[in-house]
A and B are shown apart, each in its own frame.
Chain A
Amino acid sequence: MAWFKKARKPMGSATAEKPSRVPEGLWVKCPGCAQVLYNKDLESNLHVCPKCAHHFRIGATERLRILFDEGRWTEHHTGLASTDPLHFTDTKAYRDRLRATIDATGMTDAVVVATGRLEGLDVVVAAMEYAFIGGSMGVVVGEKITRAIEIGVDRRQPVIVVSSSGGARMMEGVLSLMQMAKISAALARLDRARVPFISVLTDPTTGGVTASFAMLGDLNIAEPKALIGFAGPRVIEQTIKQKLPDGFQRSEFLLEHGMLDLIVDRREMKAVLARLLRLLGAAPAPVEPPVEMATAVEADQR
């Protein structure tokens, strides 16, 4: 094992400027304060720097482990896969890129849909995976998030979507674009059913993801200093031909401009979500576990 390991930028991302994904070495240098941290300590602190509170990017599984009681949940709709409808090829065939990403991440696409309990409340969570082609939204991500919302409508359970995405997936063309409309239409139904939808925005949330479900939460909650925007910073710099000010398109900037309800530290996120859901009327689930819990997968066995 290396003492230090350089974090590699995930590919396919227009916004991955800082190497902030959790590296695998024994020691990690915090990009926020340059402090050298023991990886185990970082892990037990939910990948938040104990010194400066820099939030490292985390994956979907880690996210679910943080949110669900005892790290237990039931995953849904695992059998969906993209057929590469455009037969897209750039410098590499999308089909091969997809296969390589599936092998590397052990995931089928860039989102995990799960149900379980959050401080005893039954919830539906869709957590996006940035390591999977920049968390980009193609037809599978669109379908899975739509189904997550439909579970929320059917069971009248609050829906939480944790975004971490560079936006729509170019390699699936206009079909990716249409996922924005599809998910938003499903959210209109959830809205009418008066079931809460909370959007949690993490670093980074940009493009078509921001311009659809991520901004449509009954409550929009972000982690500190997350990059959140529609156009990428580089595109904007090209438009205005000057450098962008520090902090532009960060959580604090969006809060100041009225786009977010709260910025919440990852270590407080679960408690804040539970409190808000209770205030919005969610009642604790019955004590005996529902049938599906019997088949729940232990998070760390996955």
Chain B
Amino acid sequence: MPIDILDFEKPIGALLKEIDALSAQPRTRERQQAIDALERRLEATRSEIYGRLTPWQRVMVARHANRPTVLEYASRLFTEVTEISGDRRFADDHAMVTAFARYKETPVLIVGHHKGGGGDTKQKVYRNFGYAKPEGYRKALRAMKLAEKFGCPVLAFVDTPAAFPGVESEERGVAEAIAVNLREMAALDTPIIVIVHGEGGSGGALGIAVGDRILMHEFAIYSVIPPEGCAAILWRDSNRKVEAAEALKLTAPDLVRFEVIDAIVPEPPGGAHTDHDRAAALLDEPLARALAEVSAMDPAARLEARYRKFRAMGSVGIRES
């Protein structure tokens, strides 16, 4: 069984193994029919399992090693993708990708965390596992200011466990870097579409996630703290992560209910990691629609609407007497 089959995906893994075994043998009509039958069962099994994922299972899917990265979406949906580098202050953070590109004729800026997914350990280390440092947030802001200056919409792809919790992060002011992004993105005079496509890890995610429309993938998560961390603090036992994941209400349907996100982006049955092409194709339509909507708005009205959107965050949880 491939190592990237998750625990609860065992029935899927077993079918994949059978299909592999049959495919390896010489092709006959009967064998092909058997493979087709297995493929249909695979699809059905995936839909069945993914139709009733628990919150903790969604956490595992959102963190899946083969989940498409920002660059995988970029190469499928955009042309002329041209990465730019550096925060002009300290360094170039490889955990944060910034690239100009064309999306259906329109020049756009892509900003996104990159965990090094799909790559080997060396790749993951190069990307610091998607933990951006202060220079990553400053690089993102520098690029976004360019986008504003030249009238490009910003498409922000969110997928990070957290901002990097290390000594140099604190020394160089990761808190300040995130805070400034929050303030500046609230007033950035160009359309911003946010796509939470993997792990929306706390302040590290939010640092590039203020925008006019917030889309979230079906099996992505968005949370104030990782379930393990929450369990360690509140239950004093990080093994209670399953309960913590439940309690934190970090799934896409929860966040629609809390009016934190605008729309859910569907994934292929079995999750985006099973089929990157299809995952990208499924993102295309909602992304194009959101971008068309906010691009059509008068700039002042768009900024006012963005302000109102975030101004209302949390109102669902307040009672005023």
Given A81-B319, A229-B170, also A173-B186 (CB < 8 A)? no
Contact with B along A174-200 (1 / 0, CB 8 A): 111111111011111101100000000
Q: For chains A and B in complex, what number of residue pairs have CB atoms within 8 angstroms?
A: 205
How close is B18's CB to chain A, nearest CB, in angstroms? Answer: 40
Count A-side interface residues using an 8 Å CB cutoff: 65
| CB of B30 closer than 8 Å to a CB of A | no
Given A80-B320, A231-B170, also A175-B183 (CB < 8 A)? no
Let me know if B179 and A175 touch, CB within 8 A: no
Given A80-B318, A168-B224, A170-B224, also A186-B311 (CB < 8 A)? yes
How close is A46's CB to chain B, nearest CB, in angstroms? Answer: 27
Cβ of A229: which chain B residues have Cβ within 8 Å of it?
Answer: 170, 175
* B317 in complex: contacting residue of A82, A213, A216, A239, CB < 8 Å: A82
Cβ of A85: which chain B residues have Cβ within 8 Å of it?
Answer: 258, 316-317
| CB of A277 closer than 8 Å to a CB of B | no
| CB of B264 closer than 8 Å to a CB of A | no
Cα separation A122 to B230 with both chains bound (whole Å) = 41
Cα separation A235 to B314 with both chains bound (whole Å) = 27
* B311 in complex: contacting residue of A168, A173, A182, A207, CB < 8 Å: A182
In the complex, which of the residues B224, B244, B317 has the most CB atoms of chain A within 10 Å of its own CB atom?
B224
How close is B268's CB to chain A, nearest CB, in angstroms? Answer: 25
Given A79-B320, A216-B180, also A90-B166 (CB < 8 A)? no
Let me know if A175 and B230 touch, CB within 8 A: no
Cα separation A149 to B165 with both chains bound (whole Å) = 30
Cα separation A244 to B168 with both chains bound (whole Å) = 12
18 CB-based A-B contacts, threshold 8 Å = A12-B233, A82-B318, A91-B235, A139-B318, A168-B202, A170-B224, A173-B248, A174-B222, A174-B249, A174-B258, A178-B313, A185-B186, A187-B183, A188-B186, A189-B307, A211-B182, A230-B170, A257-B172
Given A172-B317, A211-B179, also A230-B171 (CB < 8 A)? no
Cβ of A84: which chain B residues have Cβ within 8 Å of it?
Answer: 317
How close is B260's CB to chain A, nearest CB, in angstroms? Answer: 6
Contact with B along A222-236 (1 / 0, CB 8 A): 000000011100011
How close is B309's CB to chain A, nearest CB, in angstroms? Answer: 9
Closest to B201 in A: A177
Given A174-B250, A186-B311, A236-B166, also A230-B175 (CB < 8 A)? yes
In the complex, which of the residues A211, A215, A239, A259 has the most CB atoms of chain B within 10 Å of its own CB atom?
A211
| CB of A89 closer than 8 Å to a CB of B | yes
How close is A243's CB to chain B, nearest CB, in angstroms? Answer: 11
How close is A58's CB to chain B, nearest CB, in angstroms? Answer: 23
Cβ of B318: which chain A residues have Cβ within 8 Å of it?
Answer: 80-83, 139-140, 143
Cβ of A214: which chain B residues have Cβ within 8 Å of it?
Answer: 175, 179
* A173 in complex: contacting residue of B203, B250, B307, CB < 8 Å: B250
Cβ of B294: which chain A residues have Cβ within 8 Å of it?
Answer: none
Cα separation A89 to B318 with both chains bound (whole Å) = 18
Cα separation A248 to B248 with both chains bound (whole Å) = 31
Contact with A along B177-209 (1 / 0, CB 8 A): 011101110110000000000001011001101
| CB of B80 closer than 8 Å to a CB of A | no
| CB of B57 closer than 8 Å to a CB of A | no
Cα separation A250 to B256 with both chains bound (whole Å) = 39
Let me know if A188 and B184 touch, CB within 8 A: yes
| CB of B210 closer than 8 Å to a CB of A | yes
Contact with A along B55-72 (1 / 0, CB 8 A): 000000000000000000
Closest to A189 in B: B307
Interface residues of B in 220-253 (CB under 8 A from A): 222-225, 229-230, 233-235, 243-244, 247-250
